[in-house]
Structure 1
């Protein structure tokens, strides 16, 4: 977004080694992949609604924010209510700042956009540190890299949408989706390693 070129092509897909997952492990992966897919899908729809000032804007943002609650619900069986709620709060902040940033960019308020962008990246760092603390199989640095990638790709997607570069905007959306699935697979792998007894069947 503000301060980033719309041409971001530094994406590198990270393959996750999957060795004969049990049905319960596959189910977890499917759940987390759906959540990350919904995360980027509803983010894209919210961006389009804000930029286009569409009548569905408020309802679309409301549905987007539900993604944070859904992530918290997915975490609760493993980490308990308090940790799950904290993760949900961090994800909700990630989404609300993003909406705020898009609105500032749409109206050309560069100072508000710069402030929101700073808080957005700080929030991503908070998420990376949080995940690194609750699971010894998640690397804070790896989550920093992935979330930084996520935000930069979203920044470019928004910039291209505002500029009306629709072919580029759509191509970036495909890259965002692939990168989100990478995060889902890393998340799955860490939970399986941390709670192996939960996935015996």
Structure 2
């Protein structure tokens, strides 16, 4: 899926109900927060800012928030598993930035390897719980998210802030693509929950 195409799947839904619109808005909000708090945490790590602990705590809360959106459809166990996978994604990202900042190439390479393995697991998990999510397509999107986030972090560490913002704009657009992909798949899987 290309950036800017996120509205196309919605034309296939007969009727956008208030429940569909609410889920779409809530899902977009947590994915927006995901990338915003990631950027703030990267900045805090890069420049030894005193808000690092507070930003990290808020970033990690995002994993719980994402899991909570799945609860009404999949139950507590699946929601908790998804939250755990997203939390691992966030923790590994912080490890990668810290290793890159320290110039520890071995630790950075190890974190990046685990980061991509976690991305594979996230795509596999979502495709397993929802037949309308393609493992391959979601993994492609998620890997692009990882590549862009790494690029953004490197640019921040290099203090190339203008370029990092340009990359962040792409990260934000793609996060909304992933958000809409999940929402659309849930609506397709549970149509009775979204009837008027």
RMSD: 1.1
**Does 2:12 correspond to 1:17?**
no
**Does 2:33 correspond to 1:38?**
yes
**Does 2:56 correspond to 1:61?**
yes
The aligned counterpart of 1:134 is: 129
CA deviation vs aligned residue, 1:137-189 (integer Å, no higher than 9, x gap): 11000111110010000011001111111110011111110000011110110
TM-score for both structures, normalised by structure 1: 0.93
Q: Which of 56, 70, 83 lines up with 2:65 in the alignment?
A: 70
**Unpaired segments ≥5 residues, structure 2:** none
**Does 2:85 correspond to 1:90?**
yes
Task: State the 1:12 CA deviation.
Answer: 3.5
**Does 2:172 correspond to 1:172?**
no
The aligned counterpart of 1:124 is: 119
**Unpaired segments ≥5 residues, structure 1:** 1-10
Q: Which runs of 4+ in 1 moved over 2 A?
A: 14-17
Q: Which of 150, 158, 162 lines up with 2:157 in the alignment?
A: 162
Tell me the distance in 2 between the aligned counterparts of 1:136 and 1:86: 18
Q: Which of 173, 191, 194 lines up with 1:196 in the alignment?
A: 191
Tell me the distance in 1 between the aligned counterparts of 2:165 and 2:2: 18
Tell me the distance in 1 between the aligned counterparts of 2:78 and 2:93: 23
Q: Which of 47, 60, 82 lines up with 1:52 in the alignment?
A: 47
Relative contact order higher in (CA < 8 Å, ≥ 6 apart): 1
TM-score for both structures, normalised by structure 2: 0.95
How many aligned residue pairs are there? 191
